């Protein structure tokens, strides 16, 4: 998929959500018709991808056979001894390893393409079902009386939201496959794997640097109540409660439509519930459970809406004037870790994501607040031994400025708005 095709999919997904945001009973038929146009034609050739996957697998098998022959030729000691024989044997052995690495690259490429073929085949089935659903809704809204248009509008909105999710999923699948190929082109790694502690130390910033980097300015437009306006009636039907959010948050929520808002709302509740269960409620504010909650929330949102929207949204959330500097740095840093985990594991289900996030907390990839109100790495304190941030909010930077740094149904059991860092999530 070209960059232009990827951008076009993103644009159509956004337009479908914009249709949902402006939908009324009176416009639901026109919205269904426009939804069919935006859904477009199905993308990808699964049979062609299957053929390509087979070709890569055959190439891998051929390279493995060559590597085995080369390795056999390295057994020279019985017929040839001495320094020259040793050098020749080492060279042949190195060649065999290189061929084996190349065989693995081709085999992995075949797996990636084969998996993409299966995804494309399912996407085409889902596309056909959704198009037929919109056709049926077009007919039903044309024949419906005024008293039925309200219920039909909800069904049209649901179909449009499903279309947006489908196009977003297709784009994410192709981008994930492209990322895998870029990794393959970069070549297999060399040398022994570093220890967990060494690898962790290599990528950990000084805590003062985290505090400095992970800050944003207060939203200049202030706070607002959301949902409201044209989408309020549908959000109310979906059980979404009004909440105080930054104006930037509200603007980003409008982009994903009421059904997207419902998904984001559910992700927030799921993350809180898992955090409380995983760490037994220890540190639900500024501690280990809070670190897990933010990272898992971002991971769930990334799988649903993509890393770019998730970063913009969760960063806009932190532009609350009530945040403290340390809690804001903690949240922005841990949000980024969650997005990275989701991006690196695009096929992980929610339970697998939760396990990966928990491991990151216990391995010290997250930050928490110690009892002096300062940042600490999450492996430097035991759960339940954390404190609370009490410093004032620094000026911070506007997201997108060159100096700004950022990388990326369950029953929740309790009210998410009653817990968390100073921004209440």
Q: Tell me if 278 is assigned to some domain.
A: yes
Whether 10 has a pLDDT exceeding 90, the answer reads no
Domain end residue (candidates: 134, 167, 191): 191
**Which whole number is the average pLDDT over 260-276?**
91
Is 424 part of any domain?
no
Query: Is the distance from CB of 240 to CB of 380 less than 8 angstroms?
Result: no
Question: Would you say 284 and 275 are in contact if contact means Cβ atoms under 8 Å apart?
Answer: yes
Q: How far apart are CA 272 and CA 173, in angstroms?
A: 28
CA separation for the pair 254, 114 (Å, rounded): 37
Could you tell me the two tokens for 99?
A: 């061929």
pLDDT, one tens digit per residue, over 280-330 is 877 788 899 999 999 999 999 999 999 999 999 999 999 998 888 899 999
Task: Please indicate, yes or no, if residue 412 is contained in any of the structural domains.
Answer: yes
213 plus 344 within the same structural domain? yes
Q: Measured in whole angstroms, how far is the alpha carbon of residue 346 from the centre of its chain?
A: 7
* Phi and psi, residue 375, nearest 5°: -65, 145
Structure tokens at 48: 């062609």
Are 210 and 141 in the same domain?
no
pLDDT-derived band at 114 (thresholds 50, 70, 90) equals confident
Q: State whether 157 and 217 are in the same domain.
A: no
Residue 106 has pLDDT above 80, yes or no: no
The domain tally of the chain equals 2
Q: Are residues 211 and 70 in the same domain?
A: no
Q: Which residue has the higher pLDDT, 308 or 52?
A: 308
Both tokens assigned to 359: 């491991």
Same domain, 107 and 229: no
- Based on the fold, state whether residues 177 and 201 are members of the same structural domain: no
The radius of gyration computed from the CA coordinates of the chain, to the nearest angstrom, equals 26
Indicate the Cα dihedral angle 91, 93, 95, 100, nearest 10°.
-170
| Shared domain check, 270 and 219 | yes
Residues 6+ apart with CB under 8 A from 382: none
The per-residue pLDDT for 316 is: 94
In a domain, 122, yes or no: yes
pLDDT in the model for residue 412:
27
Most confident range, picked from 158-162, 279-283, 405-409, 416-420? 158-162
pLDDT score for 359: 92
Dist CA 418 CA 392 (whole Å): 21
Least confident of 33-47, 90-104, 366-380, 395-409: 395-409
- Is the domain of 171 the same as that of 214? no
- 346 in any annotated domain: yes
pLDDT value of residue 154: 86
From the centroid of its chain, how far is CA 197? 26
pLDDT tier at 384 (50, 70, 90 boundaries)?
confident
pLDDT at 15: 87
In a domain, 425, yes or no: no
Domain that holds residue 367: 196-418
Give the integer Cα–Cα distance in Å for 230 and 233: 7
Predicted local confidence at residue 98, as pLDDT: 61
Q: What is the pLDDT of residue 132?
A: 92
Q: What angle do CA 59, 64, 68 make, to 5 degrees?
A: 150
Q: Are 242 and 225 in contact (CB under 8 A)?
A: yes
The residue with tokens 């695009």 is: 346
CA dist., res. 337 & res. 334, Å (int)? 5
Measured torsion, CA atoms of residues 201, 402, 321, 260, in degrees rounded to the nearest 10? -90
pLDDT at residue 222 in the model: 93
pLDDT band at 42 (very low <50, low <70, confident <90, very high): confident
H helices then E strands: how many in the chain? 13, 4
Span 243-264, pLDDT tens digits: 899 999 999 998 888 888 889 9
Q: What is the pLDDT of residues 137-161, one digit of tens each?
A: 999 988 888 888 888 888 888 888 8
Report percent pLDDT > 90 for the chain: 26
Whether residue 30 lies inside any domain: the answer is yes
Q: Are residues 186 and 203 in the same domain?
A: no
Residue with tokens 């690196």: 344
Higher pLDDT, 190 or 14: 14
pLDDT of residue 151: 85
123-148: b or e for each residue (b if 16 or more CB lie within 10 Å)?
Answer: bbebbeebbebbeebbebbeebeeee
Instruction: With residue 226 as reference, give the H or E element that holds it.
Output: strand 223-226
Among the three residues 124, 156, 191, which one is the final residue of a domain in this structure? 191
The answer to whether 328 and 399 have CB atoms below 8 angstroms apart is: no
Q: Are residues 67 and 140 in the same domain?
A: yes
Q: Is residue 423 part of a domain?
A: no
Least confident of 171-175, 211-215, 416-420: 416-420
pLDDT of residue 186: 59
**For the whole model, what pTM was predicted?**
0.57
Assign 101 a pLDDT band (cuts: 50, 70, 90).
low
Do 45 and 134 belong together in one domain? yes
pLDDT at 228: 82
Task: Name the most confidently modeled range: 122-126, 167-171, 177-181.
Answer: 122-126
User: What's the average model confidence in pLDDT over 122-135?
Assistant: 89
DSSP SS3 for 225: strand
* Shared domain check, 182 and 201: no
pLDDT at 407 over 60: no
Mean pLDDT, the chain, rounded, equals 77
* Residue 410 near residue 269, CB atoms below 8 Å: yes
Mean pLDDT calculated for residue range 218-227: 92
Of 172, 191, 210, which residue constitutes the final position of a domain?
191
Instruction: Reply yes or no on whether the pLDDT at 414 is more than 50.
Output: no
pLDDT digits (tens, 9 = 90+) for 61-87: 776 665 555 444 444 444 444 454 444
């Amino acid at each position: 998929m070209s960059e232009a095709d990827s951008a076009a999919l993103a644009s159509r997904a956004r337009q479908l959500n914009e249709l949902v945001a402006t939908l009324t009973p009176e416009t639901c038929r026109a919205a269904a018709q426009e939804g069919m146009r935006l859904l477009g034609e199905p993308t990808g050739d699964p049979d062609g991808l299957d053929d390509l996957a087979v070709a890569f697998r055959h190439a891998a098998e051929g390279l493995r056979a060559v590597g085995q022959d080369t390795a056999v030729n390295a057994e020279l000691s019985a017929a040839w001894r001495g320094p020259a024989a040793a050098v020749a044997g080492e060279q042949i052995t190195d060649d065999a390893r290189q061929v084996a690495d190349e065989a693995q690259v081709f085999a992995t490429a075949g797996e990636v393409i084969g998996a993409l073929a299966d995804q494309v085949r399912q996407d085409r089935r889902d596309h056909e079902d959704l198009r037929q659903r919109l056709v049926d809704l077009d007919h039903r809204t044309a024949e419906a009386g005024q008293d039925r248009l309200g219920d039909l509008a909800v069904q049209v909105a649901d179909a449009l939201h499903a279309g947006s999710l489908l196009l977003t999923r297709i784009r994410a699948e192709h981008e994930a496959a492209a990322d895998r190929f870029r990794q393959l082109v970069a070549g297999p790694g060399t040398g022994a794997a570093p220890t967990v502690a060494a690898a962790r130390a290599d990528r950990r910033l000084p805590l003062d640097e985290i505090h400095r980097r992970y800050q944003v300015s207060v939203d200049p437009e202030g706070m607002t109540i959301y949902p409201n306006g044209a989408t309020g009636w549908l959000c109310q039907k979906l059980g979404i409660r009004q909440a105080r959010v930054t104006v930037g948050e509200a603007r980003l929520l409008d982009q994903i439509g009421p059904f997207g808002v419902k998904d984001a709302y559910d992700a927030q509740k799921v993350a809180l519930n898992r955090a409380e269960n995983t760490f037994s409620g220890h540190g639900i504010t500024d501690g280990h459970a809070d670190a897990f909650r933010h990272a898992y929330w971002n991971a769930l949102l990334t799988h649903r809406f993509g890393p770019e929207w998730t970063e913009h949204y969760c960063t806009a959330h932190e532009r609350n004037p009530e945040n403290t500097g340390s809690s804001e740095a903690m949240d922005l840093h841990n949000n980024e870790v969650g997005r990275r985990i989701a991006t690196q594991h695009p096929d992980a289900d929610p339970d697998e994501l939760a396990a990966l996030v928990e491991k990151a907390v216990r391995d010290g990839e997250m930050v928490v607040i110690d009892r002096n109100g300062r940042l600490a790495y999450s492996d430097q304190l035991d759960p339940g031994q954390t404190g609370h941030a009490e410093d004032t909010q620094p000026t911070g930077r506007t997201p997108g400025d060159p100096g700004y740094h950022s990388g990326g149904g369950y029953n929740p059991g309790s009210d998410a708005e009653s817990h968390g860092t100073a921004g209440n999530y």
